[in-house]
Every structure is written in C-alpha cells, then in structure tokens.
Amino acid sequence: MTQRLFNRVALVTGGSRGIGAAIVRRLASEGASVAFTYSASENQALDLVSEVQVTGGNAFAIRADSAIAEAIQGANTLSRFGRLDILVNNAGILLRGTVDDFDLADFDRMVAINIKEVFVATQAALPHLQAGARIITTGSIAADRAGFPGASVYSMTKGAVAALTRGLARDLGPRGITVNAVQPGPTETDMNSSNEVHDMLKPLMALGGMGKDHEVASLVAYLAGPESSFVTGACLNADGGYLA
C-alpha cells in the first residue's frame, strides 16, 4: 500500500466496527495517524488499535457517544497527534419501522446520530482544518431509493446527509476544504447481517452480490487523498449497481 496519507491525521467517528473499522485500517495503511470514536464496543476498539499498531500503523480510540453533541465536540486528535487533516463522519444507525408505529425516541436518536452528529463533528473540527483538508461522510444509497417498507426515516436521514454535503461544500470551498459523501449500497455489515436480508438484496444487485466494507473504505481513501482535490459536493455511490 502506498503512503499517500503520510503525515496526515484523521478522525473517524463510529470507527470500531464494520465500515468504520475498515476505514480506520485503510487510512492507517496509507500512512495516516487515525483517531476513531466508539460508543459501547470497547473491546473491539482496543483490538482495532492493536491490529493497526501491529501492522506498523498509528491509531487511537476515543470513547464518545455519537448521539451526544458534547461528547462529539470533545473528541479530537489534538492532544494525541497535534493536528487534524481528515474528518470522516461515519457513525450511523439503522432503525426500521413503518410510519404508523415508528417510535419517536427512535426517530430522535437516528436524527441525532445520522444527521446532527455530522454537523456537530464538522463544526467542532473546522477551527483545526487548513486548506487541503478533507471532510467525508458515510451516507447511503437510501438517500436515493428507500427500497423497502420501514426505511422511510433512515432514508430521510441519509437524504439530509446528501443535502448537507452539498451545502457544506459551498460553505467551505473558499477555504480549500473539500466535503464529500460516500453512499454505500447493500454491504455486508452488522446492519445487514442476516442471510434473509442477503437473499433479498442479492438479486437487486447488478454485480450479483453484496459489497464488502473494505470496498467502501477504498472510496473513502480516494476522497481523503491528493487525487481528489477537485472533487467536492459529491455523493459517490459504491452500490454494486443497486441503483443502475
């Protein structure tokens, strides 16, 4: 792996497992020092730090509940690494339910983590970001296609992420900071872990199979690197042709 991100510092929210952990591994493998937040998966977070360090990388775990604004505001890389160059807003949850029985507490929690956290983390990071910095958010193709009953609130949150990405790109472009989103399609993660879900989704894929977390991470790494300097305000799909 090339060291395209050598001497760069990244913060990944929700980085202890799934796509977040794959992003941490990929950015570290390309030379970045990576801090990441976790909420409850402490053992997984510490195991990931050890894994990155064994392979010669540099990682640091920060406990912070993505639903709590103050916790996200306090999660920073400065005490450990002294700077911040790349923010990856990856934290997200998926709670399903049709409109007639969707619990309002679940609604509020999904909005807090999937939308508000992106804004709060970006706002907190901005004083430390210089020209050439990158902000990348993990969205979803659900922003463009709900796909099945019970996904309306989740789709709403990811549609908001796409709109926020475009607006932030306009706000921060004059500062030389790019803002983009990666929109995974059906991917093998904790959110889509059952064989029943896999069997339902695979026929809908142009490539005939679910995505892998490292494939999503590779697109994040591209947006974090020097080759993407002219890409901003984009929502890039990694969906195996689900939307084709």
- The CATH number of residue 111's host domain is 3.40.50.720
Is residue 69 situated within a structural domain?
A: yes
Return the pLDDT at 190.
Answer: 67
Is residue 184 situated within a structural domain?
A: yes
| Domain extent for 128 | 9-237
Convert the pLDDT of each residue in 172-208 to its tens digit. Answer: 999 999 999 999 999 987 666 667 777 888 888 899 8
Catalytic annotation, pick one of 38, 154, 222, 242: 154
Contact residues for 43 (Cβ-Cβ < 8 A; gap 6+): none
Is residue 163 situated within a structural domain?
A: yes
Q: Are the C-beta atoms of 19 and 213 separated by less than 8 Å?
A: yes
Is residue 81 situated within a structural domain?
A: yes
Is residue 4 situated within a structural domain?
A: no
Convert the pLDDT of each residue in 114-165 to its tens digit. Answer: 999 999 999 999 999 999 999 999 999 999 999 889 999 999 999 999 999 9
Task: Check if 38 is active-site.
Answer: no
Structural domain total, the chain: 1
User: What residue ranges in 160-212 does DSSP mark as E strands?
Assistant: 178-184
pTM, full prediction: 0.95
Is residue 56 situated within a structural domain?
A: yes
Task: Kindly write down the DSSP assignment for every residue of 105-131, as one continuous string.
Answer: HHHHHHHIIIIIHHHHHHHHHGGG--T
Tokens of 124: 């907190």
% of the chain beyond a pLDDT of 90: 88
Is residue 1 situated within a structural domain?
A: no
Q: Are the C-beta atoms of 112 and 65 separated by less than 8 Å?
A: no
The arithmetic mean of pLDDT across residues 37-52, rounded, is 95
Return the pLDDT at 200.
Answer: 80
